[in-house]
Amino acid sequence: MGARSRRFAMVALGALGAAGVAAMIACEAVPLTAIGASIFLQANPGFVPANGGRALVTALLTEPAGTLVPDGTEVFFFTTLGSIEERVKTVDGIARTFFVSDSRSGTATVTAFSGGTAPAPSPTASPASSALADSATGTGNASISIVIGSALPATIVVTASPQRITSPRQSAIIANVFDEFGNPVQNVPVIFSLDATLLEETLDSGGAPQFTNSSGQAFDTLRTKAPVGGVQKEVTVQASVPAGATPGSVVVFVN
């Protein structure tokens, strides 16, 4: 074979190799999806506050035979409000991702699909049933609703640790603030207070607002100057918020 023939053969092989690589890349680009799969979709919680509220969205995919889809099956997500990861791969038949709210309030319709046509968003699911979705149609898609809004405190649960003061002469007071759905409410000002007739007990906050953290908890400390071993008395610590919830309280025993 002459030099010109050898060069031609090398160019031809190089072109074939490039085509083969391109074909392999094209194959890799095709996502593994589940044709005819049933999707069970849920969100926890079903209500999140605006501006950064998060809900765990879980999609369980089963094949027509009832078996779990293979690992690596891609599930596509989209939402009418807020944001969510667009593509998630399954592990043990489950794809998990987080929905994150933005500054807009309302009801977000979150849809998951794999191997089927993405359905038109439908806000038919109510907040009370938003944890469940289309789980047995075999169409490869399902939708749920997540309510987004400014969370209002509905319940305040107050605890003390310890609830009986002996030594040291103090107790940690914790106010847990929840919305109507039982979710913790953050960045809420909580006012701790005592009966005005008490002379030996004080709160570290001095009546200043203590804001709840990401777990919906606000903290204060009750201290007493009562002599150790004296007559036992009951001290009620009350926690209240500006509006939207009945104050909560806890009784602390001092002796």
Q: What is the 3-state secondary structure (H, E, C) of 124-164?
A: CCCHHHCCCCCCCCCCCEEEEEEEEECCCCCEEEEEEECCE
State the pairing for strand pair 87-89/74-79: antiparallel
pLDDT, tens only, 137-166: 457 899 999 988 766 788 999 999 999 999
Which residue's entry shows tokens 């038919």? 124
pLDDT, tens only, 81-115: 999 999 999 999 999 999 999 877 788 999 999 97
153: nearest Cα among 220, 211, 221: 211
pLDDT, tens only, 177-223: 988 878 788 778 899 999 989 999 999 999 999 999 888 899 999 99
The more confidently predicted of residues 122 and 206 is 206
> End-to-end CA distance of the chain, in Å?
106
Distance CA 205, CA 208 (A): 5
Q: Residue 3: pLDDT above 80?
A: no
pLDDT, tens only, 165-175: 998 999 999 99
Q: Supply the DSSP symbol for 229.
A: T
% of the chain surpassing 90 pLDDT: 52
Contact predicate 224/165, CB 8 Å: yes
Distance CA 155, CA 185 (A): 10
SS3 6: helix
Dihedral angle sign, alpha carbons of residues 224, 229, 230, 233? positive
Q: Residue 37: pLDDT above 90?
A: no
Which has the minimum average pLDDT: 24-28, 37-41, 76-80, 245-249? 24-28
Dihedral angle sign, alpha carbons of residues 103, 214, 179, 205? negative
Beta strand ranges found along 70-139 (DSSP E): 74-79, 83-84, 87-89, 94-100, 106-113
Using CB atoms within 10 Å of the CB of residue 212, give its burial: 0 to 12 exposed, 13 to 18 middle, 19+ buried.
Answer: buried
Distance CA 61, CA 91 (A): 10
Q: Which residues contact 109 (CB under 8 A, 6 or more apart)?
A: 79, 80, 81, 121, 122, 123, 125, 143, 144, 145
State the pairing for strand pair 164-165/248-254: parallel
Domains observed in the chain: 38-149 (2.60.40.10), 155-254 (2.60.40.10)
The mean per-residue pLDDT over the stretch 49-59 comes to 88
